[in-house]
Structure 1
């Protein structure tokens, strides 16, 4: 076992942002452990990473909603690759539907994967990092962890919960004087397979709200968060505007989203598959990091804001609120 090699664990690594993040860490010389549910897709991803980057890649089929499975995966990583240096929580499952169309079981399942999946990852990582008094945990959030939108109550609720849990744990880590770094990355809309395989009860195909970024942009932000001492990273000016404008004018945004929040997330195309999607079982297929929006997704973002830019944040908050107010006035006139 090479005890000097850095090890990163990525949940949700079979596709989407998790798949891109696994590539990004491998590109920087990390051995990577890939966790997600679909064994075939995960095995293919691991083989591609080993062939492409010359590092070790360990595929561990895991449902992050199962705390024991996550802990067992962490043990296998350390037995096979070595001590975990970075743990990245990406895995998620959600539904595009109004609350009135959801069942309690569907909400619970989405919450267990998206929220408790990150909690399970934090617990598994911290229990091992605490003993060595080192390591980094990266939780992947969203602008929707600060500003909810209609049709995504399951996802938004889970992301809010992750932020709350993360802040509590961070204070405990500081209290215990641990040299374990806990950070969170808030993402904008990303071009991933999520919009093709998430549960969808709208009868039409889902889409992200523009501007859309490629998953490699998110992966670079995640790697930055893992290797720099930042409390939180906000990726993309759209994320910054959504978060800060909501602090200034939340009621205005409520009304705006009531009018525009449906059409902005649903296309005119009929669904091409069963509406249940991947909420309870993985959807088979050779999916990768990208979704179907390559034609409009941006490959770069010049804006990456952290807690070290607080003065600028509040200036942008004012700008965002003014922009929203102007837009609202124009629509009414």
Structure 2
């Protein structure tokens, strides 16, 4: 994407979306920030402005399609044609499935899955007539592997993965200039663990290893620049999870049954800003959560697996070249 292009980021008020908005701001982009919380949106707009970009904050509940469509039109009218649309907004409930009510499960699905569908529909309404643009779906290793205590979230991420694959095939069939890609993320230190609805005994935590949101943001921005790839995997832990699920799903089920509960809770964390954002934005009390969660001390600022994911073509060419050179040497020695 060109410098000063137009980008839309849903879930931009905090966490990964906030970090993505900053990253695009550093590029001098015009960044539309979509989220429910006014305080977080104001903070994100200031971040983009200080980074060198032009922000447009639009309060939106992505579960409401009409709000998303109206937001997309406003972005086109005020900032210009949308180049990249990043779907990131979500909510969740940390609890065993039998402790989640049907209205709670529905709400998680409407925000976390249908929010992506609505965002994609809105983006395509404007991108398809121009035959250009990129849509980035922010995914997770949990799009392939469900874990205990997160049934609603895992179900939504699995749904996004299937929806993404179907849409991508349709765009390829049309030979469309619009591209869609998905970034599968590892555990990330975001405020989500301080504001999702939880019925756990202790404070929720991401399953280690944990990465800082800037790692995810760099991967997402790169994916927006190179959307021809079907998906990007970020973090060696993501790759290991996907491989383990493919090779030995039954063993992984038993491992998670034994360890998945304790790995997602931390009794030593006491967060004074603990909230619940299922039905209303967490920043309704005026607190700006920012991009980082409460696990800074345990989070990694970079991912060794990110570079190979971004440069897979160069790596493949290097491997082929090395194999060719080795074959040539053996051929010369045999003569």
TM-score strictly above 0.5: yes
Unaligned runs of 5+ in 1: 314-333
Q: In the TM superposition, what whole-angstrom CA distance separates every residue of 1:114-143 from its partner, at most 9, and x where no partner exists?
A: 000000000000111001000000000000
Q: Which residue of 2 aligns with 1:20?
A: 19
Q: Which residue of 1 aligns with 2:188?
A: 190
| Residues 1:132 and 1:245: Cα distance change in structure 2 (over 3 Å) | same
Q: Which residue of 2 aligns with 1:296?
A: 298
Matches within 5 A, 1:201-220: 201-220=199-218
Flag the structure with larger Rg: 2
Report deviation, 1:49: 1.5
Looking at structure 2, the residues matched to 56 and 274 of structure 1 have their Cα atoms a distance apart, in angstroms, of 30
What CA RMSD, in Å, does the superposition of the two structures yield over aligned residues? Answer: 2.1
Looking at structure 1, the residues matched to 75 and 189 of structure 2 have their Cα atoms a distance apart, in angstroms, of 29
Looking at structure 1, the residues matched to 255 and 52 of structure 2 have their Cα atoms a distance apart, in angstroms, of 49
Matches within 5 A, 1:34-183: 34-50=33-49, 52-183=50-181
Looking at structure 2, the residues matched to 44 and 269 of structure 1 have their Cα atoms a distance apart, in angstroms, of 29
Q: In the TM superposition, what whole-angstrom CA distance separates every residue of 1:212-254 from its partner, at most 9, and x where no partner exists?
A: 0000000000011111132100000000000111100000000
| Residues 1:253 and 1:141: Cα distance change in structure 2 (over 3 Å) | same
Unaligned runs of 5+ in 2: 317-335
Looking at structure 1, the residues matched to 147 and 270 of structure 2 have their Cα atoms a distance apart, in angstroms, of 21
Report deviation, 1:48: 2.7
Query: Which region of structure 1 is more displaced relative to structure 2, 97-106 or 169-178?
Result: 169-178
Contact 2:194 2:273 in 1 (8 A): no
Looking at structure 1, the residues matched to 25 and 252 of structure 2 have their Cα atoms a distance apart, in angstroms, of 40
Looking at structure 2, the residues matched to 14 and 278 of structure 1 have their Cα atoms a distance apart, in angstroms, of 12
Between the two proteins, the alignment pairs up a number of residues equal to 309
Q: Which residue of 1 aligns with 2:259?
A: 260
Q: Which residue of 2 aligns with 1:329?
A: none
Looking at structure 2, the residues matched to 276 and 288 of structure 1 have their Cα atoms a distance apart, in angstroms, of 14
Q: Which residue of 2 aligns with 1:230?
A: 229
Looking at structure 1, the residues matched to 305 and 145 of structure 2 have their Cα atoms a distance apart, in angstroms, of 19
Give the TM-score of the pair, scaled to structure 2.
Answer: 0.88
Contact 2:188 2:211 in 1 (8 A): yes
Report deviation, 1:203: 2.7
Contact 2:23 2:217 in 1 (8 A): yes
